[in-house]
Amino acid sequence: MGRVNAAPLVLVVDDEPRMVSLLQLALEAAGYATCAASDESAAWRLLGESPVALVVLDVMLAGASGVDLCRRIRQHSDVPVILLTALGDAADRVAGLEAGADDYIAKPFSPRELVLRVGAIFRRTAERKPSPVTPTRRAVGDLVLDAALALAREGDRNLHLTPGEFKLLWLLSERPGRTVPLGVLMEALGHDDDGWGARAALRTAVYRLRSKLADAGAWEIRSEHGRGYRLVTGQPSGVTTITQS
């Protein structure tokens, strides 16, 4: 069942448990629903699975940068982001705003200030509904693709694809067995024409992708002369879109 007239869901991303508890308590007391993540991977999973309406994101995360995560979020969604930064660290604030953050709060701060900032952003964005983060992982049989990281794995083996090869495999794996038109594939490689050079680049990329898939033996790219290419396999071809790491 969907969230009908539910309180806006705020995702708190911080690797300090006490800070997370404090922020969740303040936000929930103000009438918001909350969820929390302590690292980038968990935050990205929640963004893909839940109707997050706003993100409160600490700049300093263990093993990752909150600014990088903010930039990644902004590439996929316009969900508002408030950054938590160290007092006086102007570089973090500037980097965060350049990465697409909607606001920032310098530590230390009062939970009341955060609640007021959250409310102000919701009032500004009341006329638009933030788009959700598009799921970026797909499983086709034992082939797993992660579009956010441009990584492909078959079983326990990484395929080590170039960005262009990954884009082709992502398109081909969306509907295994169905032909993807030449124009769509060439556009994915950055070619907006149908000239000899674009076709040659596509043929080269497909050749290399075929070689990497052939090492595993379970997948094959077949050409449809003058039409495009399709991905086929002897395995069941059900496609599952997933978001977990």
Task: Give CA–CA dist 74/77, Å, rounded.
Answer: 5
pLDDT at 193: 64
**φ, ψ for residue 48 (rounded to 5)?**
-80, -25
Q: Looking at the predicted structure, is the pLDDT value of residue 59 above 70?
A: yes
The average confidence (pLDDT) of the chain is 80
Task: Give CA–CA dist 40/26, Å, rounded.
Answer: 23
Task: Give CA–CA dist 198/175, Å, rounded.
Answer: 23
By the 8 A CB rule, do 35 and 52 touch?
Answer: yes
**φ, ψ for residue 87 (rounded to 5)?**
-60, 130
Dump pLDDT digits (tens) for 60-105: 887 778 888 888 888 878 889 999 887 566 676 677 677 788 888 8
- In this prediction, residues 158-168 reach a mean pLDDT of 82
pLDDT at 159: 80
pLDDT at 186: 85
Tokens of 242: 């997933």
Q: Tell me the residue type at 2.
A: G
> Partners of 241 in the beta sheet?
138
Label residue 157 by pLDDT band (50, 70, 90).
confident
Q: Which residue has better confidence, 52 or 6? A: 52
∠ CA(160), CA(162), CA(165), 5° rounding? 100
By the 8 A CB rule, do 142 and 154 touch?
Answer: yes
pLDDT at 25: 94
- In this prediction, residues 166-187 reach a mean pLDDT of 85
Q: Looking at the predicted structure, is the pLDDT value of residue 240 above 70?
A: no
The enclosing H or E element of 1 equals: none
Q: Tell me the residue type at 67.
A: V
By the 8 A CB rule, do 46 and 37 touch?
Answer: yes
On the CB side of 45, CA atoms within 13 Å amount to 10
**φ, ψ for residue 120 (rounded to 5)?**
-65, -40
Q: Tell me the residue type at 185.
A: L
Label residue 33 by pLDDT band (50, 70, 90).
very high
| Cα radius of gyration rounded to whole Å, the chain | 22
Tokens of 12: 């708190």
Q: Which residue has better confidence, 126 or 35? A: 35
Question: How crowded is residue 129: how many other Cβ atoms within 10 Å of its Cβ?
Answer: 11
